[in-house]
Amino acid sequence: MTVDRIAMSGSIKKPHFVLVPLFAQGHMIPMIDLARLLALRGVLVTVVTTPANTARFKAIVDRANVAGLLIRFAEFRFPSTEVGLPEGCENADLISSLDQLTNFFDALSMLREPLLRYLREVKPDPSCLVSDSCMPWTVHVARELGVPRFVFHGPSCFFLLASRNASRVKPADPFETIIVPDFPHELEVVKAQALRFFEFPGWKKLFDEVAEAEETADGLVINTFKELEAVYLESYSKALDKKIWAVGPVCLANKDASDKLLRGNKTSVDDKYILSWLDARNPNSVIYVSFGTIARNSFSHLLEVGLGLEAANQAFIWVIKEAELTPPVQTWLEEFEERTRAMGLIVRGWAPQVLILSHPSVGGFMTHSGWNSTLEAVAAGLPMVTWPHLSDQFLNEKFVVEVLRTGVAVKPRMPAVYITQECEGLITREHVEAAVRKVMKGGEEGEERRKRAKELGEKAKRAMEEGGSSNESLTLIIQHVLELANNTTDYLLPLEK
Ligand code: UDP
């Protein structure tokens, strides 16, 4: 049942953090980054996975182990077939309908007993659990074991606070614009674009469990940094009366090219080819286009993106995910690729995003505004073209466009949509062309936007360096866990120099 990749001595007095990610790449990737950051401080980290998910992260964890970092997997069989999911359907990016999503969450909660049994036996004893906010069943595991439990939030604190406060306003029309109450500054949102996770009809049980898991947690860990979100962190902490540790951007845990390359799924392209392609371009001349792991674009929308880039005469790297590569898309892409070969590079499947974003030739990111992608752009000091598709992405866009002023919305006042196929014609090539031109060739206004983005990138890097706010937060949470366990802090010397 379990795979211990490192032989451990039960007698070592060091904290043992057990990380329980949601099995979705936008949640697992930052958890693995967090595991690396903790392990760099000498913490032993166990990451809960299933076979298909281990396979995606084995290479990066093996590499960390070779470097002396104590990260290991606790691997459990995923009960796909018990809930009616196809065998191997162990990650949210393999789910194709809302029904399957319900089954997926049912299967996740079935890991409760096996995990509890494992953690009762494992040595050294777990010091705490850090579990994804979407894994509320871990409340019982931590309670049974008598260890502290921290909630890891994937999204921004701006989203967490705005959606929490917006949930008190219930207009008859969900598409009405409301003012978010008790927010640090005036914030207008379309109600339907400010929903909390699982705040949909039919999901009340999970919604309540998630809220309760947060209320009863020993604190929250968020992938953000103080210099970016100070006011929201303060308000959210007050609202919940809980400690929050802002430890990001965790993507900056990957310093060298090999770690950036191995982060997430196996890449579908030769990294050396991509890097030499980028090396041959001018600084800030290429836009990276990707819409994350869950949002799916219809053929007609993909076409508009491509034609918009072409109309803007814009050099690009464009990632089109496996699930979008239907036969008509493939046929069209071949033709498009032929025509735009001198200008762009199309990646079919998975791209090494953080590696690409950190290349000096990349000057902008057209993104679906998932929080990881947003924060990765912030960390790389890049302006964004934003096209939110679902969930927290609408508020992330608001934050980037209206508060940080480092992004341009592909379409201002985007309607709230959850199934992209149902909104054909939402985005046109003209929208894409105009937003891309503004971000990449926007004259004085564009330069100012780029300057702001660059400054934020510097702040992000400083936050993660020794003495920086996120670096300190990580120290504080480890110390907190040790204090709760009445342990010593003697060995807490960062391994990293
Ligand atoms: N990602 C990547 N290569 C890809 C697609 C995605 O490395 O081709 C990574 C990206 O860097 C980010 C994560 O997958 O860390 C996606 O998370 P995000 O929150 O942006 O979006 P989600 O997929 O959850 O909607």
What does each of the 497 residues of the chain score in pLDDT, given as a tens digit?
222 333 333 333 689 999 999 999 999 999 999 999 999 999 999 999 999 999 999 999 999 999 999 999 999 999 999 999 999 999 999 988 878 999 999 999 999 999 999 999 999 999 999 999 999 999 999 999 999 999 999 999 999 999 999 999 999 988 899 999 999 999 999 999 999 999 988 899 999 999 999 999 999 999 999 999 999 999 999 999 999 999 999 999 999 999 999 999 988 889 999 999 999 999 999 999 999 999 889 999 999 999 999 999 999 999 999 999 999 999 999 999 999 999 999 999 999 999 999 999 999 999 999 999 999 999 999 999 999 998 999 999 999 999 999 999 998 877 665 544 456 778 999 999 999 999 999 899 999 999 999 999 999 999 999 999 999 999 999 999 998 886 544 444 444 43
- Whether 267-460 and 16-155+197-253+465-486 are alike in CATH topology: the answer is yes
Helix (H, G, I), strand (E, B) or coil at 121: helix
Identify the CA nearest to 355 among candidates 450, 261, 238. 261
- Whether 292 lines ligand 1, by a CB cut-off of 6 Å, is yes
CATH 3.40.50.300 fits 267-460, yes or no: no
Supply the residue whose CA is at minimum distance from atom 7 of ligand 1.
Answer: 353
Contact of 44 with 497, CB cutoff 8 Å: no
Contacts 24+ apart (CB under 8 A), 169-174: 174/416
- Whether 290 lines ligand 1, by a CB cut-off of 6 Å, is yes
Taking the centre of ligand 1 as the mean of its atom positions, its distance from the CA of residue 254, in whole angstroms, is: 15
- Whether 354 lines ligand 1, by a CB cut-off of 6 Å, is yes
- Whether 254 lines ligand 1, by a CB cut-off of 6 Å, is no
Asked whether the CA dihedral 44, 46, 47, 50 is positive or negative, the reply is positive
- Provide the whole-model pTM: 0.94
Identify the CA nearest to 352 among candidates 258, 444, 426. 258
| C-alpha dihedral, 220 to 221 to 226 to 229, nearest 10° | -70
Q: What is the residue extent of each domain of the chain?
A: 16-155+197-253+465-486, 267-460
Contact of 408 with 439, CB cutoff 8 Å: yes
- Whether 137 lines ligand 1, by a CB cut-off of 6 Å, is no
In 359-483, DSSP assigns E strands to: 362-367, 384-386, 407-409
Can you read off the two tokens belonging to residue 398?
A: 């608001």
Q: Which residues pair with 418 in a beta bridge?
A: none
Closest ligand 1 atom to 292 CA: 23
- C-alpha count within 13 angstroms, C-beta hemisphere, residue 218: 20
- Whether 324 lines ligand 1, by a CB cut-off of 6 Å, is no
Taking the centre of ligand 1 as the mean of its atom positions, its distance from the CA of residue 293, in whole angstroms, is: 6
Cα 469 from Cα 228, distance rounded (Å): 11
Closest ligand 1 atom to 350 CA: 8
- Whether 26 lines ligand 1, by a CB cut-off of 6 Å, is yes
CATH assignment, 16-155+197-253+465-486: 3.40.50.2000
Backbone dihedral angles phi then psi of residue 452, each to the nearest 5 degrees:
-60, -45
Supply the residue whose CA is at minimum distance from atom 2 of ligand 1.
Answer: 353
Can you read off the two tokens belonging to residue 371?
A: 């929080």
